[in-house]
Structure 1
Amino acid sequence: MDFFKTWVVGVDMSLTDTFILKNIEQLAKQFKPDIIHFVYITNQPDIPQEVLDDIPDLHLPELNHYQSRIEEWLSANFKADIQKKVCVKEGNVVTELLRYASDVNADLFLLGKKQKEMPSSVVKKMARKAPCSLLIVPEEVINSIHATLVPVDFSSYSQLALDMSQAIAEKYRECKLHTLHVYQDATKYLGQVFETKHEIDGILEKRAAINNKLDQYARHQLDEYLENANLSVEVVPHIASIDHSKEVSHAINDWVENNKVDMVIIGAKGKSAGLATLIGSVFEHVYFKAYHHFLLVLKKKGENNGLLKVLLGQKF
């Protein structure tokens, strides 16, 4: 994460924010960003516009109160020698977070995750619309990164994720880099309905032969891809198959449940799927299981600028 120099942390003032902050501090000590912005968005006050016109700074005491609380909280719980800035704003949470990340030219946006919660609308919208990469930080304290997992579909985003995983492995010397390629098994090609025992035996034999070929091809593809990825750290390759009724995210979650991993790194787009598809079919399922590890969604910086220009009505 050496290329992540400006971090923006969304703060929600919950009790578990302190545990999440410990994980952010641990990462900050390793990757040393230039600055970390801690941003809290409060709801627009329910005050008649006529009153605000007469007393425009009526809401300032509340904003100053939150500002002081966050600064005290950081002073007590964040000891990394990193420049920090606290900002409290009013308005729509997603809109103001997007605007702030754009204004400070953020490289990385960080949001906390509470145990087994499903992604909120804020998380899903930030994952889709943020102008930079997104890191989901669990409340379970992670003292070091011993293993990362990069799901690979051979896209340019897979290479981006591998490069990031290598940078992490160079910081945490004991860290192992795992890759996982998921492919669809023979059920993708054999969708007929069979009735007789002879037909069933025949199709099972054919399915086994096809699955064997698919397995060999998937291993060959992954090995060839990694050989050309120009990585200087050791990579442990894995493959997994899914039937036509399953999503790639199911295989990723199964792997994570059976193997200890501290960070999962996924690209914001796949080889044949756009960002909206990622958020719908992969991110939400992988997010739900991300209570023992970090989840990093990598984007190419600035790829959402056109969308943000429309959403925020600003030029950049």
Structure 2
Amino acid sequence: MNSLKRIMVGLDLSEMDETLIRYTAFLCSISEIERVYFIHAEKSLDIPDEVLESMPNGMPADEKLRASLIEKVESYFGPDSRVQVDVQVVEGSPLKELLHWSKVKQIDLILAGRKFHMRGSGVLAQKLLRTGRVSVLFVPENIEPRLNHIVVSVDFSEYSLMALDRILDSALTRPEVRITCMHAYEVPTGYITLGISYEDFDERMKGFARNKFAQVLERFPELNDRATLHLVKQENEDDIGELVMVEAKRLKADMLVIGAKGKSAAALFVLGSVTEKILRYNDDVPMIVYKKENEEIGFLDALLGND
């Protein structure tokens, strides 16, 4: 059963909107997404008239902004589109509103822009990743939509296997889409005390990964004829985030998929997770970060002011 039915796209009235809408239309064309919610959150809708001069007259600010966004969206989603599209402009904190509406609308995935040169800070996507329980797809600002090769970062934990399961269940992995499971491994310094050479221990670590991958193929038999294992050795001085992104780009990945371990509310704003390190170095590869459903509900409810 396809688990990717309802998605939400965060717009901010910048040039990034065009990229996000175009990429969303592409995803809808290759999957079974049924409904897309485009949402723009304005901190205050008390906007000076001169700012809205180029938009339709005789409308409240929210309706003017919505009309402008609808025009952009309809250029990619015409009247014959099988996908139901909803465009909303709301007042409030963008982070809080996206989290609130993703919960209300039972969203499977949020698309957020990843900015580097365009106007705006682009930090909203990272905040969504840190605070929400919904999965996030980071879309780079100048990406050209295509999906021929998906790289899934796996450490064989329940989180990475959950990410692999979710991407397979998303209908984005059409039969012609190649899948590479990338595993970064280290040779523990303890090999010296065991009387084993570095080269022998290196082979043991690679053999361990291959055995684990064989178990993955048993669990996901649909991968047998289309997935490969790519091993990357992490040296002591390597930054795991940079290492993963260098390899993803070398593999010409059209999408990188990661399963993120949730954080407790107390540790919420502590930087340094592998996911955040990878994101720090990722400037041009679309990346889905899958999170476990129902993880961190307590914190999210507290953030939204719910009992």
Question: Which bin holds the TM-score, normalised by the shorter protein?
Answer: 0.7 to 0.9
Cα distance in 1 between the residues matched to 2:270 and 2:158: 15
| Displacement after TM superposition at 1:83 (Å) | 0.8
What does residue 238 of structure 1 align with? 230
Query: Do the aligned residues in 2 keep the contact of 1:26 with 1:143 (CA within 8 Å)?
Result: yes
What does residue 112 of structure 1 align with? 113
Pair 1:30-2:30 in alignment? yes
Cα-Cα RMSD:
3.2
Cα distance in 2 between the residues matched to 1:168 and 1:142: 20
Cα distance in 1 between the residues matched to 2:208 and 2:33: 41
What does residue 212 of structure 2 align with? 221
Query: Do the aligned residues in 1 keep the contact of 2:130 with 2:269 (CA within 8 Å)?
Result: no
Cα distance in 2 between the residues matched to 1:269 and 1:119: 25
CA distance 1:144–1:46, change in 2 (3 Å): closer
User: 275, 294, 297: which is aligned to 2:289?
Assistant: 297
SS of the counterpart of 1:25?
helix
Query: Do the aligned residues in 2 keep the contact of 1:140 with 1:291 (CA within 8 Å)?
Result: no
* Higher mean C-alpha displacement, 299-308 vs 286-295: 286-295
Cα distance in 2 between the residues matched to 1:37 and 1:86: 6
Query: Do the aligned residues in 2 keep the contact of 1:144 with 1:172 (CA within 8 Å)?
Result: no
Query: Do the aligned residues in 1 keep the contact of 2:113 with 2:122 (CA within 8 Å)?
Result: no
What does residue 183 of structure 2 align with? 181
| Displacement after TM superposition at 1:116 (Å) | 6.9
- Flag structure 1 segments of 5+ consecutive residues without an equivalent: 48-59, 193-202
Cα distance in 1 between the residues matched to 2:295 and 2:70: 33
Q: Deviations over 1:240-292 (max 9, x none)?
A: 1112343432331121121111111100118xxx9959963323332244444
What does residue 199 of structure 1 align with? none
What does residue 160 of structure 1 align with? 162
Cα distance in 2 between the residues matched to 1:133 and 1:122: 14
Query: Do the aligned residues in 1 keep the contact of 2:43 with 2:92 (CA within 8 Å)?
Result: yes
Matches within 5 A, 1:1-316: 2-44=2-44, 61-79=60-78, 80-115=81-116, 120-167=122-169, 171-186=173-188, 188-189=189-190, 206-223=197-214, 225-233=215-223, 234-269=226-261, 280-315=272-307
Query: Do the aligned residues in 1 keep the contact of 2:3 with 2:169 (CA within 8 Å)?
Result: no
Cα distance in 2 between the residues matched to 1:146 and 1:131: 28
One-letter identity of the residue aligned with 2:12: D
Cα distance in 2 between the residues matched to 1:286 and 1:168: 22
Q: Deviations over 1:192-236 (max 9, x none)?
A: 9xxxxxxxxxx9x9433433333333333333x323322313210
Cα distance in 2 between the residues matched to 1:238 and 1:276: 31
What does residue 52 of structure 2 align with? none
Off by >6 Å, runs of 4+ in structure 1: 116-119
CA distance 1:289–1:309, change in 2 (3 Å): same
Higher radius of gyration, 1 or 2: 1
How many matched pairs? 287
Query: Do the aligned residues in 2 keep the contact of 1:19 with 1:141 (CA within 8 Å)?
Result: yes
CA distance 1:184–1:102, change in 2 (3 Å): same
One-letter identity of the residue aligned with 1:263: M
Q: Deviations over 1:100-149 (max 9, x none)?
A: 11121211111022357898442222012223211112233444311111
Query: Do the aligned residues in 2 keep the contact of 1:131 with 1:305 (CA within 8 Å)?
Result: yes
What does residue 198 of structure 1 align with? none
Cα distance in 1 between the residues matched to 2:269 and 2:186: 17
- What TM-score, normalized to structure 1? 0.79
CA distance 1:142–1:133, change in 2 (3 Å): same
CA distance 1:263–1:83, change in 2 (3 Å): same
CA distance 1:119–1:298, change in 2 (3 Å): farther
SS of the counterpart of 1:189?
helix
Cα distance in 1 between the residues matched to 2:62 and 2:123: 24
Q: Deviations over 1:25-67 (max 9, x none)?
A: 01012223221111101122679xxxxxxxxxxxx82111111
CA distance 1:7–1:169, change in 2 (3 Å): closer
Structure number with higher helix proportion = 1
One-letter identity of the residue aligned with 2:259: G
CA distance 1:40–1:9, change in 2 (3 Å): same
One-letter identity of the residue aligned with 2:212: Q
Cα distance in 2 between the residues matched to 1:88 and 1:46: 13
- What TM-score, normalized to structure 2? 0.81
